[in-house]
Chain A
Amino acid sequence: MTAEKVAAEDRMSRLAQRAKGRHDFCVATRLRLTLYTTLDRSDLAADVFLDWLRRDGTSWSSHPTHEDVMREYERIWVLLAGRAIEDLIDLPLITDPDVLDTLDVFTEIMTPSQLFDENLNSLIICRLVTLSLEHGNCDASCFAYVWLAMFAGPRFNNYKDGFRFGQLGYDLVEKRGLTRYRARIWMNMVRPCCPGQSMLPADAISCGAHSTLHIGSATSPLRRTAGIS
């Protein structure tokens, strides 16, 4: 097993080194992040991500300060520019392949960064949200909104808007068909993101785990248990 892990690591790091063009580099980077998540090496995942980001022209510390995070968090409200969070459901869909690549890499660093550094994780969540506000919605945006919902309360003392972002992410999946990360989104929605409250109806919670196995196309959110498994 150990030898296989090392071989997989080597192979994927060589793949990233040899990648020609930004798209392939993003694709290979994503793969490495997935591997290090699986291997429980969030420290290495953070290294890979920050190196990717540097090559893209942005230098972040692996342990950003609270001020760094707050600056990005505040940008969310600046970019909202008076709109209601619910209105974001009508943002145009992102079509720029470069932006989609960026968001894909950000999506993959969410989980390991949570285990590595709270501020880095918050900064990543907020940046994924601001990128969506700047460019439009895509599958990764839903994921970002739901993560913001999880942490807006405990980290920014803003449970109310967190809940609204969570609802937005869920609605984008269910009403706009951005279903790529449906399983991950449901999983995050059933985590307690507001005190004493989950964001999904009870029936949906009971089948949250099933959705990771098979994504069906059931239509009624309250009747998924049978439809999705």
Chain B
Amino acid sequence: MVGKLNRLPAETQKALQLFACMGNSAEFEMLRMVYQDSVEDMHDHLWEPVRLGLIFRADASYRFLHDRVQEAAYSLIPKGLRAETHLRIGMLLAANTAEAKREEAVFEIVNQLNRGSHLISSVEDRERVAGLNLMAGRRAKASTAYNSALKYLRAGSALLTEETWERNYGLVFAIEYLMPNVSC
């Protein structure tokens, strides 16, 4: 399978790698944000794998034929670059998702960000990602998914430091308060 993918044009390989990071299927909207491309270019890049039956194109999303294909595409990303790739995808999704839709897409966004969040160095970005984890934690709690909620809140808390109590009190208080509320 990897050999088959390797024979595809470099641009297409790259498109499949990013797609594989996002899961078994991805909506056009999300893929386009990550490719930073026009809709036409996105479909162009994915035309060849569609023709070969590696992925399917539905009304509003693409889907891998099989988990094995997704895994093979994912394996094309060098191990050392995977966390960074997820982080970049998460950042692009966060930046390009409209404010009104952010809450709805928050799980997809933080699931990407958290796989590379240890690489974030700027305090502002760490707080921003912690804020998205807080949002995800609240949403998970609202649907009584306490284990997931705790996972997001812990991820958020890990991004903050002592100084956050001075810099961004509301954020750290909300996370620290919510954590015991979902861990009992």
A residues with a Cβ closer than 8 A to B are 8, 11-12, 15, 18-20, 24, 27-28, 31, 35, 38
Of B177, B183, B184, the residue contacting A15 (CB under 8 A) is B177
Residues of B contacting A8 in the complex (Cβ-Cβ under 8 angstroms): 180, 183
CA distance A62 to B181 in the complex (A): 27
B169 touches A31 (CB 8 A): no
A28 touches B165 (CB 8 A): no
Residues of A contacting B165 in the complex (Cβ-Cβ under 8 angstroms): 18
Of A11, A12, A18, A35, the residue contacting B173 (CB under 8 A) is A18
Residues of B contacting A28 in the complex (Cβ-Cβ under 8 angstroms): 177
Residues of A contacting B180 in the complex (Cβ-Cβ under 8 angstroms): 8, 11-12, 31, 35
CA distance A12 to B181 in the complex (A): 11
Q: Render B160-184 as a binary contact track against A, CB cut-off 8 A, 1 for contact.
A: 0000010001000100110111011
Per DSSP, are chain B's interface residues mostly helix, strand or loop, or mixed?
A: helix
B181 touches A15 (CB 8 A): no
B residues with a Cβ closer than 8 A to A are 165, 169, 173, 176-177, 179-181, 183-184
Q: Considering only CB atoms, which chain A residue lies closest to B181 in the complex?
A: A31
The smallest beta-carbon distance between A216 and chain B, in angstroms, is: 15
CA distance A24 to B176 in the complex (A): 12
CA distance A24 to B173 in the complex (A): 8
A19 touches B173 (CB 8 A): yes
CA distance A19 to B165 in the complex (A): 10
Q: Considering only CB atoms, which chain A residue lies closest to B176 in the complex?
A: A15
16 A-B pairs with C-beta separation under 8 A: A8-B180, A8-B183, A11-B176, A12-B180, A15-B177, A18-B165, A18-B173, A19-B173, A20-B169, A20-B173, A24-B173, A28-B177, A31-B177, A31-B180, A35-B180, A38-B184
Residues of A contacting B173 in the complex (Cβ-Cβ under 8 angstroms): 15, 18-20, 24
Given contacts A8-B183, A31-B177, 7 further A-B contacts (CB under 8 A): A11-B176, A11-B180, A15-B177, A18-B165, A18-B173, A28-B177, A31-B180
CA distance A27 to B179 in the complex (A): 13
The smallest beta-carbon distance between B32 and chain A, in angstroms, is: 42
